[in-house]
A and B are shown apart, each in its own frame.
Chain A
Amino acid sequence: MRYITPLKAARGTGAAGPSTGTLHHWVLTVTSVALAILTPAFLLVMGNAIGLPRAGVLAYFSQPYPAIVTALFLIVGMYHFVKGTRNMIDDYLSHTERKVAIIFSEIFGWAVIAAAGYALARMALTAVIV
């Protein structure tokens, strides 16, 4: 027998309640502004880098500006991506499927951030040592 009423069960499950919907929206807004600033800078950096030979790519991303712009765009971008995916998952999925999708979207997002961070850190730090 269920002791709670349907109203009690439904309370607090909406986006604006004590759940995290408002926070997600705010995080998406803050990262949007950051990405709006970073987008032209990132495109110019990638435009310079694509087409270089391997040694040229390593040398290019060992400079502070290309390395920092690329790191910021990919890290903030993937964080924004995970929050945006969460938005979509909350709209289209429910129950166990929703939980599984949220878990894998977070894992995937951080894996991409780790890969990009590793590559950029290695290019930047190697240049200083050599």
Chain B
Amino acid sequence: MGDIPRGNRPLSPHLGVYRLPISAVTSIMNRITGHAMLAGVILIVWWLVAAVTSDHAFAWADFVLRSWFGFLVLVLSLWALWFHFLAGIRHFFYDAGHMLEIDEGQKSSWAIIWGSVILTLISLLLFFLA
């Protein structure tokens, strides 16, 4: 292979160096957020079971849930839930045959990213102020 003149011939896209388009990023993020928010579900179900178990069990679960670690898990799960919510709604449009053009995919991807951040902030504001 060494004697083939390579010149400036284009290289084929290599997965290791290929920058994913934004629609590919939001697509894989939909799968990741869907699985990652299990952490928040486990925390909440543990907390509910602890509430019907004993004072000691609830004190322990409530301490973890409301600690900085629990707050981090719940806020990240909240954002993951809103991201998955918006990306799931986009799938309804996909299934109906809409929003499948490249520019539409890019626009909807940014809408999902910013929409999930805004909905998370609104949820947190409602939680702390209302």
Verify A74–B41 contact, CB threshold 8 A: yes
Nearest A residue to B30 via CB reads A84
> Interface majority SS on A: helix, strand, loop or mixed?
helix
**A47 contact set on B, CB distance < 8 A:** 123, 126-127, 130
Of B34, B85, B88, B130, most A-chain CB atoms within 10 Å: B88
Cβ-Cβ contact count across A and B, 8 Å cutoff: 77
Do A120 and B55 form a contact, CB below 8 Å, given A36-B85, A78-B41? no
Do A119 and B45 form a contact, CB below 8 Å, given A39-B85, A88-B35? yes
Verify B78–A43 contact, CB threshold 8 A: yes
The 8 Å CB contact of A57, one of B45, B51, B85, is B51
Within 85-130 of B, Cβ neighbours of A (below 8 Å) are at: 85, 88-89, 91-92, 95, 123, 126-127, 130
The 8 Å CB contact of B48, one of A35, A78, A119, is A119
**B49 contact set on A, CB distance < 8 A:** 115-116, 118-119
Do A32 and B92 form a contact, CB below 8 Å, given A84-B35, A118-B49? yes
> Interface majority SS on B: helix, strand, loop or mixed?
helix
CB distance from B66 to the nearest CB of A (A): 7
Verify A32–B91 contact, CB threshold 8 A: yes
**A88 contact set on B, CB distance < 8 A:** 31, 35
**A81 contact set on B, CB distance < 8 A:** 34-35, 38, 41
Nearest B residue to A91 via CB reads B31
Within 54-103 of B, Cβ neighbours of A (below 8 Å) are at: 55, 58-59, 62, 65-66, 74, 78, 81, 85, 88-89, 91-92, 95
**B29 contact set on A, CB distance < 8 A:** none
> 8 extra interchain contacts, Cβ-Cβ under 8 A, other than A50-B66, A74-B41, A119-B51?
A32-B91, A47-B126, A51-B66, A58-B51, A61-B51, A70-B48, A84-B35, A119-B45
